[in-house]
Amino acid sequence: MRLIESLPKLSESQIWEIVVGCCKTLSAIGPDFEVSESDFVKGEFFSATGLQGQTGLGAQNNEFFQQLSFNSNLFREGLEEAYLNTVYHELIHVIVNKYLISNNIIEVVPGNMFHVVNKEEFDKVQADNGHGGRWLELAIRANKVLGLSIPITPYCNDREVEAVFNASVEEGQEIPVEIECQDCNFNRKFLSINLEELPSPGVLMKLYLDTKYQKRNDACKKCGGTLYIIIRDQKFKDFLESQIEAFMVFIQARHLFGA
């Protein structure tokens, strides 16, 4: 199913207008949801299929700053429910980060770095990798007030990912990377080599070796079955091979020198 002709992309200016509008909608809920475009800088758009948005927290000139980045493939006419979900999702991260800063739970240290001042409170606020704690509390409250067709969720659901993929793939386009479960219907296609979207390098190497030698694993989070990776991009395959070779040399050296 290819929808690319019928779902044109929105312009960058249109996307940021939507983000600002969502800021106003959230702020209207109450003081806990106050957020505006002055709370973040606009990051670069990226191309991905499973990763829809990112909120970065950093420090510059001994001050905190936040950066919002979005998947350009997501913002298309007809995908309003999916991209509104993502925008609200990322803005709630911005709100939670503001909470951490204003309550002195984190602070900037020399070198434009920051560290946790109150670890107990930080762990409570940022539970479940930032998608539990205060983020989840605010998301639940926002869902009740806004009544979105697709509620704000911690992670993209399969329906959203499939919709973005179908709207973005060109006719005859080769899918460079695909991960699929051998035991259930889980399948994830990647339109570009984006290391932020793909699994970590260690997991990639493990999946690559398991696939190469047809070894079973329990890497599927959906059913606990075996995940294999299909790589059609030769440069990326060569990269993984070189990383595996370097790793094996390191292991052999450790054994050789008794480490």
Over the chain (259 residues), the average pLDDT of each successive run of 10 is: 60 95 97 97 83 89 92 86 92 97 93 88 93 95 90 77 73 83 86 77 89 93 90 91 76 56
What token pair was written down for 223?
Answer: 């059913």
Looking at residue 254, what is its pLDDT? 59
Residue whose pair of structure tokens reads 């106050």 in the numeric block: 34
Task: Judge residue 227's burial from the number of C-beta atoms within 10 Å of its C-beta, 0-12 exposed, 13-18 middle, 19 or more buried.
Answer: buried
Can you give the residue ranges of every domain in the chain?
A: 12-146, 174-256
How many other CB atoms sit within 10 Å of the CB of residue 31?
6
Type of residue numbered 211: T
Please list, residue by residue across 172-200, b when 16 or more beta carbons sit within 10 angstroms of its beta carbon and e when fewer do: eeebbbebbbeeeebebbbbbebeebbbe
What token pair was written down for 224?
Answer: 């606990």
Looking at residue 252, what is its pLDDT? 59
Looking at residue 73, what is its pLDDT? 84
- Contacting residues for 202 by C-beta, under 8 A, at least 6 apart: none
Cα–Cα dist 61/17, whole Å: 28
The predicted model scores a pTM of 0.74
- Contacting residues for 155 by C-beta, under 8 A, at least 6 apart: 131
Q: Are 69 and 45 in contact (CB under 8 A)?
A: yes
What token pair was written down for 151?
Answer: 């509620």
Looking at residue 197, what is its pLDDT? 73
Cα–Cα dist 4/171, whole Å: 9
Cα–Cα dist 133/24, whole Å: 23
Strands 63-70, 41-42: parallel, antiparallel or unpaired by DSSP? parallel
How many other CB atoms sit within 10 Å of the CB of residue 163?
21
Looking at residue 257, what is its pLDDT? 58
What token pair was written down for 49?
Answer: 């299929």
Cα–Cα dist 75/1, whole Å: 18
Bridge partners for 108 per DSSP: 114
Q: Are 197 and 73 in contact (CB under 8 A)?
A: no
